Amino acid sequence: MKDEQDGNSLTVGSHLDELRSRVTKAVLAVVLTTAVAFLFHEQILLVLMQPAEGFAEIPNSKPVYTQLTEFIGIAFKVSLLAGLFLSLPFVLFQIVMFVAPGLTPKERRYLYGLLPATIIAFAAGAIFGHQVLFPPAVRFLLNFGSDIATPFISIGSYINLMLTLLLWMGLVFETPIVAFFLSRIGVVTGDWLAKQRKYAVIVAFILGAIITPTFDPINQTIVSVPIIVMYELGIWLAKLGGRGRKKAAQELSGADTKG
């Protein structure tokens, strides 16, 4: 009994050591990429401000900051988020390497394919928000009421709004990946998601109203339509994942019958 307890403690200890090592590597990667991103924080901020063409029409043609530490705080925030995104492939690799020994070969292949798709989907959503969603929203906000009041845009409020929209759109574009994953583990089916389509459309327009910083229906529709499209893509991928799950179950059943 003592030997078994020692063996279990050694196993738990080795797992904890590996976890500590993986976490340390991931944290170091985030720190390194954040430091590199901070060296280029001006370029990153300029990229984030590109959609705001209306800045050319306000005093000094650029946003302002009203607190002494506001700009450096935004610079650190943008650098940290950029560092997190840049280090995400390495961090996810550390997570996969930690959990991989407990997975079957098929599950490992499935996981290896799913993680890159997750990163690509999030990046696509962020790019959509930056290039398609944000420019008309900013133009509307800068022009609305400009005859009555002069806009002095705070760099902090602008960047926080931009990052919030990019995060939301990145998460929205994860919908098909999540639907595929849930169908593979048997939580949902493509047919069930298809039956919920009308509710999904309502939720899409509610989310469009929440995500969009403006109240005009055009910008809200620009947000809602991609959500609906991502849901429809999720239905298709869920059906694909469901067929793959049924096929795997049939193969396993056939192998048990032969055995």
Give the pLDDT confidence of 31-56 residue by residue, as tens digits.
999 999 999 999 999 888 887 765 65
Return the pLDDT at 165. 86
Return the pLDDT at 74. 94
pLDDT, mean of residues 80-99: 87
Q: How many residues does the chain have?
A: 259
pTM: predicted TM-score of the whole model, two decimal places = 0.75
Name the region of 11 (left: φ>0; alpha: ψ -120 to 50; beta: rest).
alpha
Q: pLDDT tens digits, residue range 189-220?
A: 888 999 999 999 999 988 888 877 666 677 77
Q: Which residues of 9-43 are buried (b: 16+ CB within 10 A; e: fewer)?
A: eeeeeeeeeeeeebeeebeebbeebbeebbeebee
Q: pLDDT tens digits, residue range 8-26?
A: 444 777 878 888 888 999 9
Return the pLDDT at 232. 93
Tokens read off for 61 = 């043609």
Vertex 254: Cα angle to 185 and 239 (nearest 5): 35
Q: Residue 187 is which amino acid?
A: V
